[in-house]
C-alpha cells in the first residue's frame, strides 16, 4: 500500500493513524474529517466543557504538531459524501476525491432527531464542540432547561446545568433513566440522586408536541403537562454515521457489518468505533459499542488488520458516566442480560451484576472502585452468575 486514508476525525480514527505509523507503514497517510477542528475528545462536552467553557487545547486528542510529525495529511472541514470501491476513491462534499489503497472508516455516530423537533430552531443537540459552545451561551442566560432523553448525555448535561444553577427537567419515554443500558434498578438509583439535587425527572411519558412561542419553547407531554423551557436539549440517542456509504458495496446493518477482525466485505477496507458492528467472541454476540475505550482499542485493531494481521477483536466493553458525585463504571454487556442482582446499595454506592445464559455478562459499580476491579476480572473470565451472586465474591 502506498496511501492509507482514514475517514473520520474521531478517537478511533486518530488511534488507527497512530497504530499504522507504529507498525512501520512509511507511505502516505490522509485523515478526512467533517469538522474544521483537529480531532478532539467528546465526553467532556456534557460535563467540564459545558460547565466552564470549551478549551480546544485541552480537548485535542493529539497536539497540533503531532500530525505533521507523523506525516499525516489533514483534509478537515469536508465530510465524506460517497465511496467508490471499484475506483478506490473517497468522494468529498466539495466534489473532490481522494484515492486510497487502504481505508479505515471511523465516522462515528450522529444524533437522532425525533419527529417532534422538525422545524424547531431552538432544539439543540450535544455532539460536537460547536454544539457545546452554543448550548453554554444559551444556558448562561436561561432559567429552565428541558432535556428530552434520559440517556448518558442527557443525564450528564442535566447534572451540569443544575450545577450552574438552572432549574432542570428531564423527560424520557422509558421507565427509568438510562433504562436501555442498565434497566430500572440502576436507573431508579440515578433518578433519586438527580431529584436529591433538585432535578425533576419525568419518565414513562413521551413528548407529544414542541412549539416555539416568543423567547420560550413549549414542550407538551403525552400525559397532558406542558413544560416551558428557556433552553431545550434533545438527547435521544445516536445512529451510526453510514449514510455516505449508501450505494457503495460496503455491507450495512445498524452500522458497518464487519468480520471478527474488523475487516469489511470490501478488500482493504476496515471499520472501527461507533460505526463498526462485529461478532465479539467473548460474548458470542454481534454488537456495536459507542464508548471511548472501545474506540481506542478498535482503531488500533482495525489498523493492524488493514496491515495484514489476522486476529479477531475480542473485548469486554468498559464505559463510564459521572453525574454529580456519582461515578458510574460499567464492564461487559448489562443491557443484554436476563438476570439482574443488586449486591450493594445505599445513598452513595451501588453495585449491580447482570447475567446471561447463566454467566456473568456485566457489572455496574457506582463509587465502588474495589468492587469494579474484582467484577471486571469475573466478567472477562465468564464466571457463572450464581457464583457471583451467592458466594460473597464482592463484599459491600
**Would residue 315 count as lying in a domain?**
no
What's the structural domain count of the chain? 3
CA distances 332 to 257, 359, 384, Å, are 21, 11, 14
pLDDT at 78 over 60: yes
Which residue among 306, 333, 353 closes a domain? 306
- Cell numbers 445512529 correspond to 239
**Would residue 229 count as lying in a domain?**
yes
**Would residue 320 count as lying in a domain?**
no
pLDDT at position 336:
78
282 and 185 belong to one structural domain: no
What pLDDT band is residue 390 in, cutting at 50, 70 and 90?
Answer: confident
- Cell numbers 468529498 correspond to 92
**Would residue 185 count as lying in a domain?**
yes
pTM of the shown model:
0.95
Helix (H, G, I), strand (E, B) or coil at 115: helix
Rounded mean pLDDT of the chain? 96
117 and 229 belong to one structural domain: yes
Domain with 222, as residue range(s), is 113-234
Helix (H, G, I), strand (E, B) or coil at 233: strand
CATH number (domain holding residue 216): 3.50.50.60
What cell was used for 44? 467532556
81 and 132 belong to one structural domain: no
**10 Å Cβ neighbour count for 214?**
6
136 and 245 belong to one structural domain: no
Largest CA distance in the chain: 63
- Residues 112 and 123: beta-carbon distance below 8 Å: no
In this prediction, residues 316-331 reach a mean pLDDT of: 96
What cell was used for 320? 463510564
Q: How many residues belong to the chain?
A: 396
Q: Among 284, 282, 254, which residue's Cα sits nearest to residue 271? A: 254
Q: Among 242, 248, 205, which residue's Cα sits nearest to residue 227? A: 205
In this prediction, residues 139-160 reach a mean pLDDT of: 97
pLDDT at position 47:
95
What pLDDT band is residue 134 in, cutting at 50, 70 and 90?
Answer: very high
**Would residue 316 count as lying in a domain?**
no
Measured CA angle at 379 (ends 255, 259), to 5 deg: 30
33 and 104 belong to one structural domain: yes
Could you tell me the sign of the dihedral formed by the alpha carbons of 18, 22, 23, 27, in that order? positive
- Residues 168 and 162: beta-carbon distance below 8 Å: yes
Measured CA angle at 309 (ends 306, 314), to 5 deg: 95
Which residue among 306, 339, 364 closes a domain? 306
118 and 213 belong to one structural domain: yes
**Would residue 294 count as lying in a domain?**
yes
Non-local (6+) Cβ contacts of 44 within 8 A are: 50, 58, 59
Q: Which long-range contacts (CB under 8 A, 24 or more apart) does 183-188 make?
A: 183/334, 183/335, 183/337, 183/340, 185/340, 185/342, 185/352, 186/328, 186/334, 186/350, 186/352, 186/364, 186/366, 187/150
178 and 150 belong to one structural domain: yes
**Would residue 396 count as lying in a domain?**
no
pLDDT tens readout for residues 8-57 = 999 999 999 999 999 999 999 999 999 999 999 999 999 999 999 999 99
Q: Among 145, 153, 194, 139, which residue's Cα sits nearest to residue 47? A: 153
102 and 176 belong to one structural domain: no
d(CA 244, CA 373): 40
pLDDT at position 377:
94
- Residues 1 and 28: beta-carbon distance below 8 Å: no
pLDDT tens readout for residues 194-232 = 999 999 999 999 999 999 999 999 999 999 999 999 999
251 and 361 belong to one structural domain: no
In this prediction, residues 350-373 reach a mean pLDDT of: 96
CATH number (domain holding residue 342): 3.30.390.30
In this prediction, residues 163-187 reach a mean pLDDT of: 96
In this prediction, residues 140-165 reach a mean pLDDT of: 97
**Would residue 301 count as lying in a domain?**
yes
Q: Which runs of consecutive H residues, i.e. helices, occur in 81-226?
A: 129-139, 152-163, 179-182, 184-196
In this prediction, residues 95-106 reach a mean pLDDT of: 98
pLDDT at position 394:
61
104 and 8 belong to one structural domain: yes
pLDDT tens readout for residues 275-298 = 999 999 999 999 999 999 999 999
250 and 352 belong to one structural domain: no
207 and 165 belong to one structural domain: yes
Which residue among 234, 249, 277 closes a domain? 234
In this prediction, residues 270-276 reach a mean pLDDT of: 98
Q: What is the DSSP letter of 39?
A: P
d(CA 374, CA 362): 12
State the distance between the two ends of the chain, measured CA to CA, in whole angstroms: 54
pLDDT at position 392:
65
What pLDDT band is residue 395 in, cutting at 50, 70 and 90?
Answer: low
Amino acid at each position: 500500500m502506498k496511501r492509507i486514508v482514514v475517514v473520520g476525525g474521531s478517537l478511533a480514527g486518530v488511534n488507527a493513524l497512530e497504530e499504522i505509523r507504529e507498525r512501520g507503514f512509511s507511505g502516505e497517510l490522509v485523515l478526512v474529517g467533517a469538522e474544521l477542528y483537529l480531532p478532539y475528545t467528546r465526553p467532556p462536552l456534557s460535563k467540564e466543557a459545558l460547565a466552564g467553557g470549551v478549551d480546544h487545547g485541552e480537548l485535542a486528542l493529539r497536539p497540533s504538531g503531532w500530525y505533521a510529525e507523523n506525516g499525516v495529511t489533514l483534509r478537515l472541514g469536508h465530510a465524506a459524501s460517497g465511496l467508490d470501491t471499484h475506483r478506490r476513491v473517497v468522494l468529498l462534499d466539495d466534489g473532490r476525491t481522494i484515492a486510497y489503497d487502504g481505508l479505515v472508516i471511523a465516522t462515528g455516530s450522529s444524533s437522532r432527531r425525533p419527529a417532534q423537533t422538525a422545524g424547531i430552531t431552538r432544539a439543540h443537540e450535544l455532539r460536537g464542540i460547536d454544539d457545546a459552545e452554543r448550548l453554554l451561551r444559551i444556558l448562561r442566560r436561561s432559567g429552565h432547561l428541558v432535556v428530552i432523553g434520559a440517556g448518558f448525555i442527557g443525564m450528564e448535561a442535566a447534572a451540569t446545568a443544575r450545577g450552574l444553577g438552572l432549574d432542570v427537567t428531564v423527560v424520557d419515554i422509558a421507565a427509568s433513566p438510562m433504562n436501555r443500558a442498565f434497566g430500572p434498578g440502576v436507573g431508579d438509583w440515578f433518578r433519586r440522586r438527580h431529584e436529591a439535587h433538585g432535578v425533576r425527572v419525568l419518565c414513562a411519558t413521551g413528548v407529544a408536541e414542541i412549539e416555539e412561542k416568543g423567547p420560550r419553547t413549549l414542550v407538551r407531554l403525552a400525559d397532558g403537562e406542558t413544560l416551558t423551557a428557556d433552553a431545550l436539549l434533545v438527547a435521544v440517542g445516536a445512529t451510526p454515521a453510514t449514510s455516505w456509504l449508501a450505494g457503495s458495496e460496503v455491507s450495512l446493518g445498524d452500522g458497518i457489518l464487519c468480520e471478527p477482525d474488523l475487516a469489511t466485505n470490501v478488500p482493504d477496507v476496515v471499520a472501527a468505533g461507533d460505526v463498526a458492528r462485529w461478532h465479539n467472541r467473548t460474548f458470542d454476540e454481534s454488537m456495536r459499542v459507542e464508548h471511548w475505550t472501545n474506540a481506542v482499542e478498535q482503531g488500533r485493531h482495525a489498523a493492524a488488520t488493514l496491515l495484514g494481521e489476522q486476529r479477531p477483536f475480542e473485548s469486554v466493553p468498559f464505559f463510564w458516566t459521572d453525574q454529580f458525585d456519582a461515578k458510574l463504571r460499567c464492564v461487559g454487556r448489562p443491557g443484554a442480560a436476563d438476570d439482574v442482582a443488586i449486591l450493594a446499595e445505599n445513598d452513595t454506592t451501588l453495585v449491580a451484576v447482570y447475567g446471561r445464559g447463566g454467566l456473568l455478562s456485566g457489572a455496574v459499580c457506582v463509587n465502588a472502585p474495589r468492587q469494579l476491579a474484582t467484577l471486571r476480572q469475573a466478567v472477562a473470565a465468564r464466571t457463572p452468575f450464581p457464583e457471583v451472586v451467592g458466594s460473597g465474591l464482592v463484599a459491600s
